[in-house]
Amino acid sequence: MPEFLRGLKAPVSVWDEDEDDATFTVTSRQYRPLDPSAPMPPPRSSRRLRAGTLSALVRYLLDSRTSGSDVTFMPTFLATHKAFTSTSTVLGLLADRLETLESRPCDDLERTRGLAISVLSTWLTSHPEDFDSEVRGQLDRLESFLLRTGDAAGEIVGGGIDDLIRDLRSRVDTPAPDPPKPLAPPGDSPADPTDVLVFLADHLAEQLTLLDAELFLSLVPSQCLGAIWGHRDRPGHSHLCPSVRATVTQFNKVAGAVVSSVLGATASGEGLEEVSIRPLRPPQRARLLEKWIRVAEECRLLRNFSSVYAVVSALQSSPVHRLRMAWGEIARDSLRLFSSLCQIFSEEDNYSQSRELLLQEVKIPPPLEPNTKKPVRNVPSRGGGVVPYLGTFLKDLVMLDAASRDELENGYINFDKRRKEFSVLSELRRLQDECRGYDLHPDPDVQQWLQGLQPLTEAQSHRVSCEVEPPGVSDSPAPRILRPTLVISHWTDVLGSVGGPTPLVSWDQPSPREDDIVTTPAPLLTRLAQHMKWPSVSSLDSALDGASSCHTPADPGFLSPTAHSPRPSRGHRRSASCGSPLSIGSGEGASLGPGSGIGPGASDCRIIRVQMELEVDGSVYKSILVTSQDKAPSVISRVLKKNNRDPVAASEYELVQLLPGDRELTIPPSANVFYAMDGASQDFLLRQRRRPSSVTPCLSTGPPTPANPPSEGGGGGSFPRIKATGRKIARALF
C-alpha cells in the first residue's frame, strides 16, 4: 500500500457478480489519501468465486487471474472436488479446455500451458491418491497436449515436463498395495487381555502412539468429507474411506482391549462365540482399571488424544462402569485422574475442552519429564508429535455437509461450502505435519499382544459384566454401550474402602522391590492441576496424608481391604465426608456418624451438581467441590464463573437444593452450604433471586423444577455415575 494511504480506514463494499456460469463475490476498498488535495486513487477490488457450474470451476482453475486474486481456490478445489464430482471428470474437463485453447496465440497458449503444469504438479504433490488406473485415459490426453504444445513452441522435452509426466505415469501404473499382514497369524490363540499388567504404562502408551501416528499420517483428509464419510454405509460405498476406517478399527481395538482386560474375558472358538472368563477379585480388577487410567494419562502426555479418548470411552462404557465393587477399590488419586480426563474429553460444548487443549499442545513443546516422581527417563527420544481425536473433525465435517446446500437454487455448485470444509481439512494437514515429530520404535511383543486381542461383542461384554457382578449386586442401569459424560456424586461413596496398591500387580514399576513400595499415597492434585482447578481442596490432601500415616506396607488392610472392612453409609456426613472411607487399624470405630471425627485424616468436603437456570432451553450442570468453610455466596460465585457469568452478581442469585418429591431447600446467603444441605441429594439449582431469603433454611413445596434424575441404585454408588448419550463404542466416536 502506498505510504500516503496508510493509517486510513477504507470503506468496504461487497456485492455479487454473475459471469460465465459463475457467481463471484467482489470486495472493493476505497482508500482516501492523507492529503485532501491529492486525487482520489482508484478502489482496490478482489474477487472470489462463490458458486458456479463444474465447467466454470475448471475454467477458473486455468484462469491466470485466479493465482493472484483468489489464492485459496486451487487448493480448495483439489481437496474437496470428490464431494461433488470425480477426478476423472475433472481431468477430462481440463483436457477439453486445453484442447479448445490450443488455437490461441502463442503467448496465451504458453500461459495456459504453464497454468496446466502448475495445476497438475500441485495436484500430484498434495493428493497423489487421486491418480489411479481409472484416470489413465484422461492423462493420455493431457500428456499429448503438453508434448504437442511444447514441440510447437520449439521446446526440448525434458526437465520439469518430463519429470511430471513420468511421475504421473508411475503413480497410475503402480498397483494398489497389499493390506499389511497381521502380527498374530490366524490360528494363534487369542492374547490374554489381562497381560496389560506386564507392560509399563508409559511403554504401552508409546506403542499405542506409534500405531496411531502411523495411521494418522496415512490418513487421506479428503476421505473425511461429510459427503464421503457420511455416506459410507450406503450400498456400494463399502470401499470408500479406507484410511478413515483403519483409524476407526484401531480406535475400537483399543477400546475393546480395555473392556476385555477389566472383565478378564477372552473370545475364542469358531466365530469367537465362546468366552472364557478369568476369575478376578475386585481389587485385581481395580488394578486393571488403574493401569488403563495411567496408560490414558501417559498417552495424553504424549499428545496422543486418540488413544486417550479410546481408553476413557471404554472405562465409561456400561459393562465397565457398572462394576461397582471394582470401582470401589480404586486408589483415590487414580479416580481423581480419571475424573479430570473425563472432563477434558467431555462432549459438552462440542468437545470445547479437548479442542482447546489440542491447540495448546500443538503450540507448546511436550514436557521433558511428565512424571516427576519417577527417575528421569529418556523422554526427548520420544519426539514431539501429536495425534488428534479424529472423531472431532469427522463430526465437524458431517455437520458442515448437513448444514449447507451442495447447490444453489440456480444449480450452481456452492463453493463457499467447500471453502469452509477446506479450513477443517487444512487443520488436519497441519496436525499431520506435527505428527511427524515422533521418534518412537516398535516393540514386537507389545505389538503382537495388541494384534492378538479379540474384542468382545456388545452382548458378550454385557453378559460377562453381569456374571462378574450380578445386577442385584451392582444395581446397574440397562445394558447399553455408551459414550457418556462422567459425573461424580459423593466422594464418600465413590471412594469407599480405598486401599493402597496391592502387591498383586506392579503396574508402573519394572520390578517390585522393597524400597520401591509406596508408603504414602501420591498428592491428590498432582495430575488434576494439569487440567482443572478446584477451590478449597487442601483438606483432601491432608485427609489422605493423615490416613496414610495409619498404615504400613505390611498392613494387610492397607494392601487389600478385607471382606469385613467397613463401608461408608450413604447418608450425609458432617465431619468425615472424605476421610471416613479410609479404614483405620482393624476397622474399630469406622462406623462414624454426624459430628464424629477421625483425627488428622478427617476432612469436610463434598461434590455437588449445580444446574443453572438459562434463558434458553437446556440444562447445564457443573460439579462443584464444597467444603465445610464455604458459605453460599462463594459457592454461587464459583458456579457463575464456571458458566461464564460475572461472579460479582452473586447477590442476585439464590442456591436451591432439589430434594426428592419435588421439594426445595433454599440455602440462605449467610449459611454454610456444607452443613445446611440435606444429605439425601447432591442436586442443586442456581436461579435469580425471587424473594428475600429467610434467616434459616426452609423447606418449601413449589412447582416442579427440572432436576437431574436420581441415580440407579440409590443416592450413591461405589462407581462413577454416568450420564448416557446412548451410542455404541464401536460407532460412538465417528
566-583: pLDDT as tens digits: 333 333 333 333 333 333
Do 161 and 204 lie in one domain? The reply is: no
Residue 669 makes CB contacts below 8 A (sequence gap 6+) with: 631, 632, 633, 651, 654, 693
In a shared domain, residues 272 and 157: no
Q: Does 212 share its domain with 146?
A: no
Instruction: Identify the weakest region by mean pLDDT among 29-43, 70-84, 222-236.
Output: 29-43
pLDDT digits (tens, 9 = 90+) for 638-692: 888 888 788 888 888 999 999 888 888 889 888 888 888 888 888 899 988 865 4
272 plus 406 within the same structural domain: yes
54 CA to centre of own chain: 36
The answer to whether residues 318 and 483 touch, using CB atoms and an 8 Å cutoff, is: no
Q: What is the pLDDT of residues 159-181, one digit of tens each?
A: 568 888 888 888 888 766 555 55
pLDDT of residue 113: 86
Any domain includes 128: yes
Q: What is the reported pLDDT for 263?
A: 94
- Same-domain status, 270 and 375: yes
d(CA 484, CA 535): 25
Q: Which residue has the higher pLDDT, 43 or 481?
A: 43
> What is the CB neighbour count within 10 angstroms for residue 409?
6
Between residues 377 and 536, the one the model is more confident about: 377
Closest CA relative to residue 348, chosen from 717, 620, 683: 620
**Which of 441, 462, 483 corresponds to the end of one domain?**
462
Assigned domain for 440 exists: yes
* Secondary structure string (H, E, C) spanning 649-691: HHHHEEEEEEECCCEEEEECCCCEHHHHCCCCCCEEEEEECCC
Residue 599 lies in a domain: no
Q: How far apart are CA 60 and CA 67, in angstroms?
A: 10
Boundary of a domain, candidates 118, 142, 173: 173
Nearest to 90 by CA among 109, 82, 412: 82
Average pLDDT over all residues of the chain: 72
Burial class for 292, CB neighbours closer than 10 Å (0-12, 13-18, 19+): buried
* 317 and 432 co-located in one domain: yes
C-alpha cell at 214: 502411523
Element (H, E) at 546: helix 538-548
Most confident listed range (357-361, 440-444, 587-591): 440-444
Most confident of 96-100, 129-133, 426-430: 426-430
In the structure grid, which three cell numbers stand for residue 410, read together? 440456480
Query: Tens digits of per-residue pLDDT, 62-77?
Result: 886 666 678 899 999 9
Whole-model pTM: value is 0.62
Question: Worst-scoring range by mean pLDDT, 4-18, 97-111, 283-297, 302-316?
Answer: 4-18
- Looking up cell 456452492, which residue turns up? 414
Q: Name the phi and psi angles at 494, rounded to 5.
A: -65, -40
Domain residues for 445? 193-462
Give the position of cell 474375558.
265
Whether residue 719 is contained in a domain is answered as: no
Domain count for the chain, please give it: 3
209 in a structural domain: yes
> Among candidates 178, 189, 200, which has minimal Cα distance to 443?
200
109 and 235 assigned to the same domain:
no
The enclosing domain of 88 has a CATH number of: 1.20.870.10
CA angle, 528 then 534 then 537, to 5°: 90
Give the angle subtended at the CA of 621 by the CAs of 618 and 625, to the nearest 5°.
165
CB atoms within 10 A of CB 636: 25
The number of beta carbons lying within 10 Å of the beta carbon of residue 220 is: 18
Q: Are residues 421 and 368 in the same domain?
A: yes
CA distance linking residue 296 with residue 721, whole number of Å: 20
Residue 503: C-alpha distances to residues 132, 336, 553, 593, 715 (Å):
57, 22, 10, 33, 33
Q: pLDDT value at position 715?
A: 36
Distance, in Å, from the CA atom of 293 to the CA atom of 73, rounded to the nearest integer, reads: 45
Find the mean pLDDT for residues 46-74: 87
Among candidates 617, 219, 225, 223, which has minimal Cα distance to 402? 225
Average pLDDT for 376-405: 79
In a domain, 187, yes or no: no
- Are residues 332 and 439 located together in one domain of the fold? yes
Give a yes or no: residue 347 inside a domain. Answer: yes
485-515 per-position pLDDT tens digit: 333 222 223 222 223 333 323 223 333 333 3
Q: What is the CATH number of the domain that holds 411?
A: 1.10.840.10
Please give the helix or strand (H or E) that residue 15 lies within, else none.
strand 12-18
Is residue 25, in this structure, part of any structural domain at all?
Answer: no
Query: In which residue are the cell numbers 502426555 written?
Result: 301
Report percent pLDDT > 70 for the chain: 65
160 and 221 co-located in one domain = no
Kindly report, residue by residue over 264-291, the tens digit of the pLDDT.
Answer: 988 876 556 778 888 899 999 999 999 9
Instruction: Report whether pLDDT(630) > 80.
Output: yes
Cell numbers of 439, please?
A: 521418534
Asked which of 462, 492, 514 is the last residue of a domain, the reply is 462
> Of all residues in the chain, what percent carry a pLDDT higher than 90?
37
Antiparallel, parallel or unpaired: β 721-723 and 485-487: antiparallel
pLDDT exceeds 80 at position 140:
yes
Answer yes or no: is pLDDT of 705 > 50: no
Q: What is the 3 state secondary structure string of 40-63?
A: CCCCEEEEEEEEECHHHHHHHHCC
What is the reported pLDDT for 612? 81
Whether residue 402 contacts residue 226, with contact meaning beta carbons closer than 8 Å, is answered with: yes
The pLDDT score that the predictor gives to residue 66 is 65
Nearest to 416 by CA among 23, 21, 13: 23
Residue 269: per-residue pLDDT: 62
